[in-house]
Amino acid sequence: MHIALFPNTAKKHSKNIAINIREYLTAQGVSIITQDEVAEEIGAIPLSSINPEMVDFIISLGGDGTILRQMHRHPNLMAPIVGINLGSLGFMADIPVTEIYPGLQDILNGNFQIQERIMMQGQSMHNETCFAVNEIVVHRAQNPGLIDIGVHVNGLYLNTFSADGLILSTPSGSTAYSLAAGGPILTPDLNAFVLTPICPHTISNRPIVLASNQDIQVQYLSEYAPVEIIFDGFTRFTMATGEVLRVSLSPRVFRLVSLRNHDYFSTLRTKLGWAGKLKA
């Protein structure tokens, strides 16, 4: 078995945990691979020296941001991801530090499920393309005021939003930026996107849920400076006045390992601090 191990090098204890995980898994006959710049320090095989198709699992040490960073930095790695949470808030990285080794043993024993979640992709008029696990954001960037954004769905006019921007989110991303902007929570098994305006001028401009098989066209209408198109907070390009961004379902899926003693609703209650209790 080959496992790629990606620590968040910004977290001081992440490398030490990575070394301990490498020792634990190596003792059980697993080959550990990591990014080239930390391979020697961790004692793992450099990623550049192997065929990405050889990787059976990816272990991400950090939080949801670490998972997204790894996805965009190594888009050729298609293996399912195991998210170990070293921070406080993580919906995808839901394995706490205290459960690392029981969790790893469950994976070695085959006691897990793999969730396949939808992703989205965006394409500019200049044929710039990128995928998103969480969201694609159209943001006003350096413009000091609101911008006008026209939206068509399958060629039909939806609305023109005067706002700071627009968030187009997958179900995975519905608990991220979209939620902070007032969007709904979608369970990760849904085939749907959420369109959430950011600080809209008109209070009746509310988030809307769209089927994921629809083609969404987002046009920048204001005659101001270019706006930014941001994918998961990591990849970005600009869009000038009159240009259109096309957003659609990605052919790629996001594969996340789910251990049998974890469930989405439990994670949701814990991370959002819900205090509701069943009453007899």
CB 163 within 8 A of CB 149: yes
Q: Is 189 annotated to bind ligand? A: no
3-class DSSP state of 164: coil
Nearest Cα residue to 236 out of 107, 141, 104, 115: 141
User: Residue 191 annotated as binding?
Assistant: no
Active-site positions?
Answer: 64
| 260 annotated as ligand-binding | no
Amino acid (1-letter code) at residue 85: N
H/E segment holding residue 24: helix 14-26
Q: Is 85 annotated as a binding residue?
A: no
Q: 244, exposed or middle or buried, with CB in 10 Å at 0-12, 13-18, 19+?
A: middle
d(CA 44, CA 51): 15
Asked whether residue 65 is marked as a ligand-binding residue, the answer is yes
Q: Dig out the tokens for 24 from the structure.
A: 């634990």
Q: Is 164 annotated as a binding residue?
A: yes
Q: Considering only CA atoms, which of 88, 98, 89, 86 is closest in space to residue 59?
A: 86
For residue 114, the cross-strand partners are 257
Binding residues: 64-65, 69, 134-135, 164
Binding residues for NAD(+): 64-65, 69, 134-135, 164
